[in-house]
A and B are shown apart, each in its own frame.
Chain A
Amino acid sequence: MADAGPARVPTLEAIDEKFGPPEPTDQPSGYFRRMVDADWLRRNGVYATLALLIGVNVVITDNFVSSNTLRLQLVQVAPVLIVALGMALVIGTEGIDLSVGATIALAAAIIPLYIGYGAPGAIGLALFAGVVTGSVAGLLVAGIGVQPIVATLGIMVAGRGVANLLGGEIKSIRDPAIVSLGTDSVAGVPYVVVIAGAVSLVVWGVVRHSTYGRQLVAIGGNKRAAELAGLPVKRVLATTYVVSGVLAALAGVLLAARSRASDPTKIGLLMELAAITAVVVGGTPLSGGQVRIVGTIAGALLIQLIGATLIAHDIPDSTAQMVQAVIVVAAVYVQLGVRRANR
């Protein structure tokens, strides 16, 4: 197939449809075998890299192989993972949610403020804040048709402002229930990790087996076609943003519980970027239509581990960010290269 650079030949879409790949036979032809390999790379690249990185760490990092390290890494990755799971759903609909950081800040600000209602009450309210931001996003994107990036951008800016107003200065959290949530464990596994694990399982199940999940993926793949097939597009989109909001709020609660403080200006900052990175690296395409939950988990772990590796070896933050940048580009390049071969 002629393959000049993207600007020389009009996009591949311009090719007559009937000249797609030939009728498939039982034996994968050379064409198909090539596709299988590239697809394999996209699907499994993140796992391979993760495994590689673990291996590297085992060799070069002291005390890497210990339950302490494992626990620490998992605890640190838990909030990001939870947000990333929600983000994966949103990206699956070909959308984006830039407001998650603000929602985290809101939730974290609410906890100390409303602790008077008791721990469950405060947590409930914090989660409700996530419902609110998610609903606003859902209304704007699904109901009115505002682009997700702009809608969630506005919510992010306004939301963080509200969070700052609610919790002006750094407040410390002393409620024993909440503190316990952040620091204690059950059967040796920290609560936050258990929660993250449970959320992962639920989201995975929803995407794979629920009607909502099937509809979500179809809508992300081709919204118009889904509409014409009678799928409840607006309902699914709105729900997705609400889910993303609630999960972000949950992450905010866990972050606040763990650090025992809520600093509205700092907490959750750049969390949206971390989440998007985890999702993209994990193999979920930005163009929607596929949601890779296991990949997202691996992506979050990979990012976490990269950061941890660099810290453990005293590599400065600056380099860490640059490394992250290169990884993101590489991940998308692989994803895209594969998609082009698939067409």
Chain B
Amino acid sequence: MTAVELSEPTHPAVSRPTTGARAARVLQRQGALVILVIVVVSAKFGFDRFATTRNVTSIAEQASFLGFVALGMTFVILSGGIDLSVGSVFALGGVLAAWGSQHGTWLAVLLPIVVCSAIGLAQGLIIARGGLPPFIVTLAGLLFARGTVLAITDEGSTTYKVPTGSAFRDFAQGELLGVGYAVWIVVALFAVGGVVLHRTSYGSTVLAIGGQEDAAALMGLPVVRTKVVTYAMSGLLAGVGGMMIASYTSSGVTILGVGTELEVIAAVVLGGTLLTGGSGTVLGTVVGVLLLQVIKNVINQVGSLDSSWQAVVSGSILLAVVTVQRYLARIERQ
């Protein structure tokens, strides 16, 4: 095709943003990171025991369990949906793993993976094929999964224990370079997740669906398939997270995971991912998860404070961050 010659290029297509708007944009995306850095630095100087290797690895290990779930939730939210069932699926994964470990380590690993992915898959099908709103479907999934947990533990009265000396314990309790396996696994998964999001067509499709689903459908992108996969992955990762925590604590605690879905949503939102989807990073979620965990840890350090302060502070920070994000979005738009 011959190049078109014009006497001069037309005026720039972009209305150049003001410096203020540009700063607002950066802050909006990296806000949580800024707060994290501030909190960490203050904590380092405020508390003797904060910056110790032991404490840092503890933070990382505690955060890793939530991390699994948050990774899955990131993709769900990026696709414009939401998954309220992850807390219950997380608990289910733990219980299944603990029970399974009594019959073999392979079972302890496979059972949660299979069952939890199946639950995610079912939800994905209902949402993508049936066209039902994700909020409701995953709310039902939450109830269903929790019901299942109760059913297999005699209405919550049984707590399965992982047998001593079982290889299953090594999953989370084993260490590499002083840090638990769980941390390494979750870091690897996040790295893979980042690559998947930005460098595969699946990732592009997720972003396109979250950004403008009509356009994505019109362009012929595989919307249904992508959504189903996303919810299945969310279930899978929640199950894996639960499995990890069962390995860590050597038991399948049944009351776990209540409110986890909301905590995870908070982490994802804090990390700069738009709740409406279409824009966000996997790294942001990492920051969000760490931030929440660090807050919990710091409050623990204070010692004299009731652990309920964790909730107060976490909630307030979430509100503060989203408020600021909103303001910044408004400035940016003008």
A and B directly contacting (CB within 8 A): yes
Interface residues in chain A, defined as those with a beta carbon under 8 Å from any beta carbon in chain B: 5-11, 13-14, 96, 98, 136, 140, 144-147, 149-151, 153-162, 164-165, 168, 269, 273, 276-277, 280, 286, 316-322, 324-326, 328-329, 332-333, 336, 340
Cβ-defined contact, B306 with A165, below 8 A = yes
Determine the chain B residues whose CB is within 8 A of the CB of A273 once the complex forms.
139, 142-143
Given contacts A144-B327, A151-B322, contact A318 B151 (CB under 8 A): yes
Does B315 sit at the interface, judged by CB under 8 A? yes
Cβ-defined contact, B311 with A332, below 8 A = no
Residue of A nearest to B321 (CB): A154
Given contacts A286-B135, A317-B147, 8 further A-B contacts (CB under 8 A): A7-B222, A140-B322, A147-B276, A154-B266, A154-B318, A160-B308, A325-B141, A336-B132
A338 to chain B, nearest CB (A): 13
B236 to chain A, nearest CB (A): 20
List 7 interface pairs A-B (beta carbons < 8 Å), by A numbering: A7-B224, A158-B314, A286-B133, A316-B150, A318-B155, A329-B126, A329-B136
In whole angstroms, what is the CA distance A277 to B139 when docked?
9
Cβ-defined contact, B147 with A157, below 8 A = no
Cβ-defined contact, B312 with A318, below 8 A = no
Given contacts A7-B223, A11-B214, contact A154 B311 (CB under 8 A): no
In whole angstroms, what is the CA distance A13 to B214 when docked?
10
Question: How many B residues face the partner with a CB closer than 8 A?
Answer: 58
Cβ-defined contact, A316 with B151, below 8 A = yes
A271 to chain B, nearest CB (A): 13
- Contact string against A for B residues 120-141, beta-carbon threshold 8 Å, 1 for contact and 0 otherwise: 0000001011111101110111
Determine the chain A residues whose CB is within 8 A of the CB of B151 once the complex forms.
316, 318-319, 322
- Contact string against A for B residues 305-319, beta-carbon threshold 8 Å, 1 for contact and 0 otherwise: 010111111111011
Does B148 sit at the interface, judged by CB under 8 A? yes
Determine the chain A residues whose CB is within 8 A of the CB of B128 once the complex forms.
6-7
Cβ-defined contact, A325 with B143, below 8 A = yes
Cβ-defined contact, B150 with A321, below 8 A = yes
Does B98 sit at the interface, judged by CB under 8 A? no
Cβ-defined contact, B224 with A161, below 8 A = no
In whole angstroms, what is the CA distance A340 to B213 when docked?
18
How many A-B residue pairs have C-beta atoms within 8 angstroms? Tell me: 169
Determine the chain A residues whose CB is within 8 A of the CB of B198 once the complex forms.
none
Cβ-defined contact, B143 with A328, below 8 A = yes
Residue of A nearest to B153 (CB): A318
Determine the chain A residues whose CB is within 8 A of the CB of B1 once the complex forms.
none
B66 to chain A, nearest CB (A): 14
In whole angstroms, what is the CA distance A98 to B132 when docked?
21
Interface residues in chain B, defined as those with a beta carbon under 8 Å from any beta carbon in chain A: 82, 126, 128-133, 135-137, 139-144, 146-151, 155-156, 213-214, 217-218, 222-224, 258-259, 262-263, 265-266, 269, 275-276, 306, 308-316, 318-319, 322-323, 326-327, 330
In whole angstroms, what is the CA distance A158 to B259 when docked?
13
Which residue in B126, B213, B311 is a CB contact (below 8 Å) of A164?
B311
Given contacts A319-B151, A332-B132, contact A157 B262 (CB under 8 A): yes
Residue of A nearest to B151 (CB): A318
Determine the chain B residues whose CB is within 8 A of the CB of A326 once the complex forms.
140, 144
Determine the chain A residues whose CB is within 8 A of the CB of B142 once the complex forms.
273, 325
A141 to chain B, nearest CB (A): 10
Determine the chain B residues whose CB is within 8 A of the CB of A319 once the complex forms.
147, 151
In whole angstroms, what is the CA distance A149 to B276 when docked?
11
In whole angstroms, what is the CA distance A324 to B145 when docked?
12
Residue of A nearest to B265 (CB): A153
In whole angstroms, what is the CA distance A316 to B156 when docked?
10
Cβ-defined contact, B306 with A336, below 8 A = no
In whole angstroms, what is the CA distance A12 to B259 when docked?
36
In whole angstroms, what is the CA distance A14 to B218 when docked?
10
In whole angstroms, what is the CA distance A9 to B223 when docked?
11
Cβ-defined contact, B143 with A322, below 8 A = yes
Cβ-defined contact, A153 with B133, below 8 A = no
The 5 closest A-B pairs by CB, nearest first: A158-B315, A161-B311, A318-B150, A157-B315, A321-B147
Determine the chain B residues whose CB is within 8 A of the CB of A10 once the complex forms.
214, 217-218
Which residue in A98, A168, A318, A332 is a CB contact (below 8 Å) of B148?
A318
In whole angstroms, what is the CA distance A163 to B8 when docked?
67
Determine the chain A residues whose CB is within 8 A of the CB of B310 once the complex forms.
161
Which residue in B131, B146, B315, B327 is a CB contact (below 8 Å) of A321?
B146
Cβ-defined contact, A14 with B214, below 8 A = yes
In whole angstroms, what is the CA distance A165 to B141 when docked?
32
Cβ-defined contact, A147 with B275, below 8 A = yes
Cβ-defined contact, A6 with B311, below 8 A = no
Determine the chain A residues whose CB is within 8 A of the CB of B315 once the complex forms.
153-159, 161
Given contacts A149-B275, A328-B136, contact A161 B146 (CB under 8 A): no
Cβ-defined contact, B311 with A160, below 8 A = yes
Cβ-defined contact, B314 with A146, below 8 A = no
In whole angstroms, what is the CA distance A13 to B327 when docked?
31
Residue of A nearest to B136 (CB): A332
Residue of B nearest to A286 (CB): B133
Determine the chain B residues whose CB is within 8 A of the CB of A336 once the complex forms.
131-133
Residue of B nearest to A137 (CB): B319
A330 to chain B, nearest CB (A): 9
- B137, B265, B310, B311 pick with most chain A CB within 10 angstroms: B311
